[in-house]
Amino acid sequence: MEPTKRKMKILEAVVEAYIKTGDPIGSKAVCDVLDFNVSSATVRNDMAELSNLGLLEQPHTSSGRVPTELGYRVYLDELMKPEPLNKKEQAAIRNSLDLGADTPESLLETAAEVLSKITGCAAFAASPPGDNAVIRQIRFVRTGSYTAMVVLITSLGTVKTKLFRCDYMITPSLLEMFDRAINERLSGRLVTSITPAFIQTTAISLGEMSIMMPSVLLAVSEAAKEASVDGTAIRGQSNLFSMPELASEDGKKVMELLEKTGELSKLITAAGKGAGVLIGSELHHPALSSLSIIAAQYTAAPECSGTLALIGPLRMNYPKIISTLGYVADVVGEFLSELLDA
Amino acid sequence: MEPTKRKMKILEAVVEAYIKTGDPIGSKAVCDVLDFNVSSATVRNDMAELSNLGLLEQPHTSSGRVPTELGYRVYLDELMKPEPLNKKEQAAIRNSLDLGADTPESLLETAAEVLSKITGCAAFAASPPGDNAVIRQIRFVRTGSYTAMVVLITSLGTVKTKLFRCDYMITPSLLEMFDRAINERLSGRLVTSITPAFIQTTAISLGEMSIMMPSVLLAVSEAAKEASVDGTAIRGQSNLFSMPELASEDGKKVMELLEKTGELSKLITAAGKGAGVLIGSELHHPALSSLSIIAAQYTAAPECSGTLALIGPLRMNYPKIISTLGYVADVVGEFLSELLDA
DNA sequence: AGTTAGCACTCTATCATGTCGAGTGCTAAT
DNA sequence: ATTAGCACTCGACATGATAGAGTGCTAACT
């Protein structure tokens, strides 16, 4: 069909113009950008039909048109082409990430930082799911006569510490004993396998030792539990302030959501595994109804991948931002695998 | 002087009423709350004089009065009495903090969280200055054939990690050798003493060992450097959205400031050492001109104290908030000393 | 001398009214 | 199928009138 093609072109023009200016787009403005040589009246007819299809809407009778959520969806699925980054942009990103690549955590923080700077959105980075992390080593460090610290290091390169206190004086030799005994029994195990029940049986197998310092095993299990939750980094919250779609009521709700990393994490990993872009009501969250989340997965190794995401207004430069996010995800995966592998 | 006393009472009434309602306060409203039995006309005369003294001002000729910055200052210095917490409030705070007291970091995070929830402000917690931290122990953990992790633990209970990569295959025995050699030379030293120059001389004293793995010492020195910067936690940024004094332009600037912890840190430790409350222009920062920072120090041990702070509007319930902050600081100091001491 | 009542005055917030311009939908001509 | 032309709608903006809150001042009061 021929007319359908022109209508699509018009939809594309409206979406892109609206993304640029933020003002409703009139038929004349569309005419100016369009390749077809048609008059504004023709465009008007087509736009009226696009409105009937639910792809465009007018804020009030007789002002320009604005894309509906469905309009954005069609644009994203059928019309938009990602705009690849040039060498210079790629180099800048790679360079910034390299500087932050000391530990997995700092790499993800840097990635979120870089993304938020470039895109002007709030950026979110989730570590690979902690529940298939394996305990690499557990160390004990004396911090006082009656206090010590357990240091748990996982295969994902994360480190969790926990201070504990004993009734008995803690001697270096006692700690060394524990160190050996615990590592023997726990290293190599999944962090999720350190359940209370497992701790119970370990305590029994340790015999007298565990009786002397009951808090040790508790501290270890708590550290393991913490290691099993996914780490997250959020940067660029300040960008939310500049989004006019966030009246201060909603803005507060969104910020609160960002402060509860757990809830957000679910939402975003879902997005990352799916289409990549979730908009408005697709997010199933009242505060986010006028926002858009773009997610991409990075992969450091088979079975070891996490998600990067951007939270911004519906009205954003998708072609550029999607490629940027994709490139950052690639580089993060690459650097992370360097950090973790043999 | 008798009249001065009444004027002060009036100032107090205006400040407190304004803090409650946010609307300019008229002479009639002041009359209603005042103990003195005087007419609104008398109050008007006094208020006119308070305006001349620069303590009150009117948004426009002929509407109620609002405190000036100087007015707030006088109120804070001479009129306000902190409103002590009741047993129930104290218990709730103590309980929440106890739950988070696993490590110094998590204790501070919890403190910021609790403060932001109770006060409705953004809350900031700074660890004791890292520059008098001492290296307690350095550990090496193998994470791959060519990669390993250095784990640095300080006397303040903070842990910094750094991954590094070597050209040579990393064997457990090699790491153990390093472990011994490095701990022998570095533990007990101030983290700030691990300068490039010091690393240089250490490398020489290590002889062949350092030649085999040059990246080790680099990683150690970077970890030490990171350990010397003060840790910070910020919570409750979402509360900034509800402050009407933050038009979105300024709001963004404030958020950006919160994202740069370094700058803020200086400002706040200064406040903590001084009067405790800095308002508006006293903060010497354009974006903060309509905000107020309340700071309090906690002390875990002699020479080991840090700062808690709240960032909120000028118009806040000082008597309650100041006692809350003070109480949280006391409890944090107490818990932290339990975590750290012998 | 300090306090009070009364009154004119100022300024904001709000609503109704009128005008301008952008952009539409429809109809009739091409 | 496309186009030109025209009447119409609606928001943005300026103008003007009104009500209400609160002031400053003056003259009277204790």
- Supply the mean pLDDT for chain A: 90
Type of residue at B243: M
Nearest to A102 among B162, B248, B251 (CB): B162
The answer to whether the CB atoms of B259 and A248 lie below 8 A apart is no
CA A139 – CA B111 distance, rounded (Å): 28
Collect all residues from A whose CB is shorter than 8 A from any CB in B: 102-103, 136-137, 139, 141, 143-147, 149, 151, 153, 155, 157, 159, 161-163, 165, 222, 235-242, 248, 251-252, 255-256, 258-259, 338-342
Whether residue A342 has pLDDT greater than 90: no
Question: Which is nearest to B51 in space by CA: B20, B84, B76, B25?
Answer: B25
- Mutation site, A115, A139, A149, interface B, largest B CB count within 10 A: A149
**Which residues in chain A touch residue B341, judged by CB atoms under 8 angstroms apart?**
144, 147
CA of B74 to nearest chain A CA: how many angstroms apart?
Answer: 32
Q: What is the pLDDT of residue A25?
A: 93
Q: Round to a whole number and report the distance in Å from the CA of B252 to the C1' of D14.
A: 33
**Which chain B residue has its CA at the smallest distance from A134's CA?**
B143
Instruction: Identify the three-state secondary structure at position A181.
Output: helix
For chain A, the straight-line distance linking the first and the last C-alpha, in angstroms and rounded, comes to: 56
- The residue count for chain A: 342
Q: What is the pLDDT of residue B2?
A: 36
For chain B, the straight-line distance linking the first and the last C-alpha, in angstroms and rounded, comes to: 56
Whether residue A2 has pLDDT greater than 70: no
Q: Round to a whole number and report the distance in Å from the CA of B24 to the C1' of D22.
A: 10
CA of A163 to nearest chain B CA: how many angstroms apart?
Answer: 6
Q: Round to a whole number and report the distance in Å from the CA of A59 to the C1' of D13.
A: 19
Q: Is the CB of B63 under 7 A from strand D?
A: yes
**Which chain B residue has its CA at the smallest distance from A137's CA?**
B141
Q: Is the CB of A325 under 7 A from strand C?
A: no
Q: Round to a whole number and report the distance in Å from the CA of B75 to the C1' of D29.
A: 35
> Which tens digit of pLDDT belongs to each residue from A94-140?
999 999 888 999 999 999 999 999 999 999 999 999 888 999 999 99
- The residue count for chain B: 342
A119 CB burial (10 A radius; 0-12, 13-18, 19+): buried
Enclosing H/E stretch for A73: helix A69-74
Q: What residues are paired with A296 via a beta bridge?
A: A308
CA A83 – CA A87 distance, rounded (Å): 13
CA B134 – CA A22 distance, rounded (Å): 55
Type of residue at B134: V
B52 CB burial (10 A radius; 0-12, 13-18, 19+): exposed
Provide CB contacts within 8 A for B122, sequence distance 6+: B116, B234, B235, B236, B237, B239, B240, B258, B310, B311, B312
Collect all residues from B whose CB is shorter than 8 A from any CB in A: 102-103, 136-137, 139, 141, 143-147, 149, 151, 153, 155, 157, 159, 161-163, 165, 222, 235-242, 248, 251-252, 255-256, 258-259, 338-342
**Which chain B residue has its CA at the smallest distance from A170's CA?**
B342
CA B85 – CA B76 distance, rounded (Å): 19
CA angle B107, B108, B114 (to 5 degrees): 90
* Domains observed in chain B: 3-79 (1.10.10.10), 87-129+231-341 (3.30.450.40), 131-227 (3.30.390.60)
A63 to A22, A26, A48, A70, A287: CA distances (angstroms): 13, 7, 12, 20, 27
Provide CB contacts within 8 A for A207, sequence distance 6+: none
Calculate helix-pair angle for A104-119, A87-99, nearest 10 degrees: 140
- Of residues A269 and B55, more confidence is placed in B55
Enclosing H/E stretch for A298: strand A291-301
Mean pLDDT of A147-161: 92
Neighbours of B253 (CB within 10 A): 17
Question: Which is nearest to A276 in space by CA: A306, A308, A304, A254?
Answer: A308
Instruction: Identify the three-state secondary structure at position A125.
Output: strand
Provide CB contacts within 8 A for A7, sequence distance 6+: A46, A49, A50
Q: Round to a whole number and report the distance in Å from the CA of A19 to the C1' of D2.
A: 29
CA of B47 to nearest chain A CA: how many angstroms apart?
Answer: 35
The answer to whether the CB atoms of B102 and A222 lie below 8 A apart is yes
Whether residue A269 has pLDDT greater than 80: yes
CA angle B290, B291, B293 (to 5 degrees): 155
Q: Is the CB of B39 under 7 A from strand C?
A: yes
Provide CB contacts within 8 A for B16, sequence distance 6+: none
Residue A3 pLDDT class (50, 70, 90 cuts): very low
Q: What is the pLDDT of residue B1?
A: 35
Instruction: Identify the three-state secondary structure at position B227.
Output: helix
Q: Is the CB of A231 under 7 A from strand C?
A: no
Instruction: Identify the three-state secondary structure at position A312.
Output: strand
Q: Is the CB of B86 under 7 A from strand D?
A: no
Provide CB contacts within 8 A for B180, sequence distance 6+: none
CA A110 – CA B242 distance, rounded (Å): 29
The answer to whether the CB atoms of B159 and A163 lie below 8 A apart is no
**Which residues in chain B touch residue A155, judged by CB atoms under 8 angstroms apart?**
143
B181 to A92, B134, B222, B248, B283: CA distances (angstroms): 39, 18, 18, 55, 48
Q: Is the CB of B61 under 7 A from strand C?
A: yes
Supply the Cα-derived Rg of chain B in whole angstroms.
Answer: 26
Q: In what order do the strands lie in the sheet with A277-279?
A: A232-235, A122-126, A304-313, A291-301, A277-279
Whether the Cβ atoms of residue B287 and residue B254 lie closer than 8 Å to each other: yes
CA B230 – CA B132 distance, rounded (Å): 10
Enclosing H/E stretch for B131: none
Whether the Cβ atoms of residue A283 and residue A253 lie closer than 8 Å to each other: no
DSSP assignment of B161-200: EEEEE-SS---HHHHHHHHHHHHHHHTTSBGGG--HHHHH
A173 CB burial (10 A radius; 0-12, 13-18, 19+): exposed
| A4's tokens | 């359908």
Question: Which is nearest to A162 in space by CA: A183, A136, A141, A145?
Answer: A141
Per-10-residue mean pLDDT for chain B, 342 residues long? 73 94 91 85 91 91 90 94 96 96 94 97 94 92 88 92 89 88 93 92 83 84 93 93 79 90 88 86 90 95 92 95 97 94 62
Q: What is the pLDDT of residue B241?
A: 85
Q: Which nucleotides of D are covered by protein (CB under 7 A)?
A: 2-5, 8-11, 21-26
Whether the Cβ atoms of residue A244 and residue A37 lie closer than 8 Å to each other: no
Provide CB contacts within 8 A for A86, sequence distance 6+: none
Question: Long-range contacts for A171-178 (Cβ within 8 Å, ≥24 apart)?
Answer: A172/A142, A174/A212, A174/A213, A175/A140, A175/A141, A175/A142, A175/A148, A177/A209, A178/A140, A178/A209, A178/A213, A178/A216
> Which tens digit of pLDDT belongs to each residue from B285-339?
988 999 999 999 999 998 899 999 999 999 999 999 999 999 999 999 999 999 8
